Amino acid sequence: MFDFAQSKRKEALKDHCGVFGIYAPGEDVAKITYYALHSLQHRGQEAAGISVSDGSNIKSIKKIGLVTGVFNDRNLAKLKGFMAVGHNRYSTTGSNTKNNIQPIIISDKGQSFAVAHNGNIVNAGELADKLNGTERMSTSDTEVLALSIFQRKEKTWGEKILNSTSDLKGAYSIVASSKDTLFAFRDPWGFRPLTIGKLSGYFVIASETCALDTIGATYLRDVAPGEVISINKKGLTTVGKIRRKQMNYCLFEYVYLARPDSIMNNVLVHQVRQRSGEILAKEAPVKADLVVAIPDSGTSSALGYSQASGIPFGEILIKNRYIGRTFISPEQHIREQGVKMKFNPMKQIVEGKRIIVVDDSIVRGTTMRQIVEVLKKCGAKKIHLRICSPPVRWPCFFGVDTPERRQLIASDKTVRQINDFIGADTLKYLSLSGLIRASKQKSNTLCTACFSGKYPMKVDMSFKKNVFESAC
Ligand code: SF4
């Protein structure tokens, strides 16, 4: 039995972080944050943390593991207060240490500041140089950012944050708290999502709308790119906004990163994926008996391909739903000890069929090669691969953990050469214009850098990662 899921997790562009914040006196804010983080688990599966303020102190519980493994009734009951900040972490290689787990807390002279970050600060090195030798406890760019804000001379936290943002370069969707106020702020490019919801008359902030749905909150609006928001007993206030001419929302959120039931920029992610399958069916038609998805990321797109082509959608891989979630760790040797989720290919259905396999993306190509090999062993007559995004040719510097450029199979190979490696009968990718059309966004409001190489800001291609580890 071939472990598709484990292999796919190893190869995929890694989910980044999930953040959540709530200001709700009288509510069990720790428990609500727990449920929200659980629904954002797909954005980070290596560590989780919740910080709660009671007005005098900020208390935290942070550990390596999934949300359900880190928190329980007993430890959540210790987090009493009216405001919480939560974080799910996906770390980059080697950075999965306890001190890097968020929220990062900075405390000094009676002041405390908790920060949960989704993104990557491209100029963390420059910012660290300005900290004048301040001792740091972690290797995370988030701590550098938090210290930069903490050490500013302005009188209010809102001013400190707003004036700091003009020094920050890169991707950040952040939820933070002082002892009495919750803050949410987003980079002026708007790379990563950040939404505002309302729950029982109070405000919540979440990476994706699926978290709002889970806790019963109503979606109000997104935190605008460049906006700094404060939430306290006076209600929700926009402290200020850094303006930029153009936003650069991450196109890959629609392809793979976000949950299909989340709404991003007024479109349901599932529908974007379905449309991308429909468009691909028109761009790259082929005669076949069955359209199948690699569970679960290719499912919405495979449905779209099937509907547009008239070729029936079917399942050939059965997932064992009673095996617990695999613990995802950046270290290879730890990964291999993780609990494996199994998928069993149904030979009886595959045998003698011409099969269209739909997936969201190809990163290194090794997983797809294994899948093709297994389907051939099961007797597939033809295997046509249809990928619902363009070739990933360039690394991401804005909060998604991509391999170095040379490890991306499309960085130096043509589609024909990629297929020679994978071994399918045909391989076709969705065009960039097709994907943008599926997203229903204007092309000049999107970051497409990992597909096009057109980065919205200057990046140092000589090293893939910052000296500082990305938050996620
Ligand atoms: S480079 Fe790709 S993954 Fe990174 S922000 Fe841009 S579109 Fe998203």
pLDDT score of 221: 98
Rounded to whole angstroms, the Cα distance separating 195 from 192 reads 10
| 229-288 pLDDT, tens digit each | 999 999 999 999 988 768 999 999 999 999 999 999 999 999 999 999 999 999 999 999
Task: State the pairing for strand pair 354-359/104-108.
Answer: unpaired
For residue 38, give both structure tokens: 């659980």
Check 17, 250, 378, 450 and give the catalytic one: 17
Q: How far is the CA of 82 from the centre of ligand 1 (A)?
A: 35
Nearest to 42 by CA among 68, 16, 12, 60: 16
279-288, 437-446, 453-462: range with lowest mean pLDDT: 453-462
pLDDT exceeds cutoff 50 at 191: yes
Omega before 296 within 30 of 0, i.e. cis: yes
Mean pLDDT calculated for residue range 389-400: 93
Q: How does DSSP assign 47-80, residue by residue? A: EEEEEEE-SS-EEEEEEES-HHHH--HHHHHT--
Mean pLDDT calculated for residue range 338-352: 71
Q: How far is the CA of 268 from the centre of ligand 1 (A)?
A: 19
Omega before 390 within 30 of 0, i.e. cis: no
Please state the atom number of ligand 1 nearest to the C-alpha of residue 191: 5
**Backbone torsion region of residue 219, taken as left when φ is above 0, otherwise alpha when ψ lies between -120 and 50, otherwise beta:** beta
Cβ of 400 below 6 Å from ligand 1: yes
Please state the atom number of ligand 1 nearest to the C-alpha of residue 451: 2
| 114-145 pLDDT, tens digit each | 999 999 998 988 899 888 778 888 888 899 99
pLDDT score of 339: 27
Cβ of 96 below 6 Å from ligand 1: no
Q: How far is the CA of 249 from the centre of ligand 1 (A)?
A: 8
Contact 195/222 with Cβ under 8 angstroms?
A: yes
What is the pLDDT confidence band of residue 12, given thresholds at 50, 70 and 90?
low
pLDDT score of 11: 54
What is the pLDDT confidence band of residue 13, given thresholds at 50, 70 and 90?
low
pLDDT score of 427: 98
Rounded to whole angstroms, the Cα distance separating 147 from 105 reads 9
Tokens 């996620």 belong to residue: 472
| 185 phi, psi to nearest 5 deg | -150, 155
pLDDT score of 342: 47
Point out which residues pair with 413 in neighbouring strands.
Answer: none
Rounded to whole angstroms, the Cα distance separating 407 from 362 reads 11
Tell me, what DSSP letter sits at residue 405?
G
Rounded to whole angstroms, the Cα distance separating 380 from 308 reads 23
Cβ of 449 below 6 Å from ligand 1: yes
User: How is the beta sheet containing 290-293 ordered, strand by strand?
Assistant: 290-293, 354-359, 382-387, 426-429
Terminal-to-terminal C-alpha distance of the chain: 32
Which residue lies with its CA nearest to atom 5 of ligand 1? Answer: 250
Contact 271/260 with Cβ under 8 angstroms?
A: no
Cβ of 258 below 6 Å from ligand 1: no
pLDDT score of 371: 85
Radius of gyration for the alpha carbons in the chain, expressed in angstroms and rounded = 22
Q: Dihedral through CA 198, CA 204, CA 210, CA 211, nearest 10?
A: -130
Helix (H, G, I), strand (E, B) or coil at 436: helix
Better pLDDT: 329 or 80: 80
| 44-82 pLDDT, tens digit each | 988 999 999 999 999 999 999 999 999 999 999 999 999
Rounded to whole angstroms, the Cα distance separating 229 from 352 reads 59
Q: How far is the CA of 163 from the centre of ligand 1 (A)?
A: 26
Which residue lies with its CA nearest to atom 2 of ligand 1? Answer: 450
Mean pLDDT calculated for residue range 421-425: 97
Residue 266 vs residues 263, 272, 315: alpha-carbon distances, Å: 6, 11, 31
Q: Quote the pTM value.
A: 0.91
| 81-100 pLDDT, tens digit each | 999 999 999 865 445 678 88
Mean pLDDT calculated for residue range 176-181: 97
Rounded to whole angstroms, the Cα distance separating 148 from 316 reads 52
pLDDT score of 465: 47
Q: How many CB atoms lie within 10 A of CB 339?
A: 10
pLDDT score of 32: 98
Per the annotation, the verdict on 17 as an active-site residue is yes
Mean pLDDT calculated for residue range 15-22: 88
Q: How far is the CA of 453 from the centre of ligand 1 (A)?
A: 10
Which residue lies with its CA nearest to atom 8 of ligand 1? Answer: 250
Q: How far is the CA of 186 from the centre of ligand 1 (A)?
A: 16
Cβ of 172 below 6 Å from ligand 1: no
Helix (H, G, I), strand (E, B) or coil at 328: coil
Tell me, what DSSP letter sits at residue 297?
T
Q: Which of 252, 401, 459, 465 to mutate to test the pocket of ligand 1 (most atoms within 8 A of CB)?
A: 252
Q: How far is the CA of 470 from the centre of ligand 1 (A)?
A: 14
Cβ of 252 below 6 Å from ligand 1: yes
The secondary structure element, H or E, covering residue 7 is helix 4-11
Q: How far is the CA of 219 from the centre of ligand 1 (A)?
A: 25
Kindly report the CA angle at 344 between 342 and 350, in degrees rounded to 5?
150
Cβ of 191 below 6 Å from ligand 1: yes
Contact 145/160 with Cβ under 8 angstroms?
A: no
| 387 phi, psi to nearest 5 deg | -110, 125
What is the pLDDT confidence band of residue 469, given thresholds at 50, 70 and 90?
low
pLDDT exceeds cutoff 80 at 8: no
Cβ of 122 below 6 Å from ligand 1: no
Tokens 């891989």 belong to residue: 317
Cβ of 101 below 6 Å from ligand 1: no
Q: Which of 254, 447, 448 to mutate to test the pocket of ligand 1 (most atoms within 8 A of CB)?
A: 447
89-93, 165-169, 383-387: range with lowest mean pLDDT: 89-93
Cβ of 392 below 6 Å from ligand 1: no
Q: Which of 186, 192, 251 to mutate to test the pocket of ligand 1 (most atoms within 8 A of CB)?
A: 251
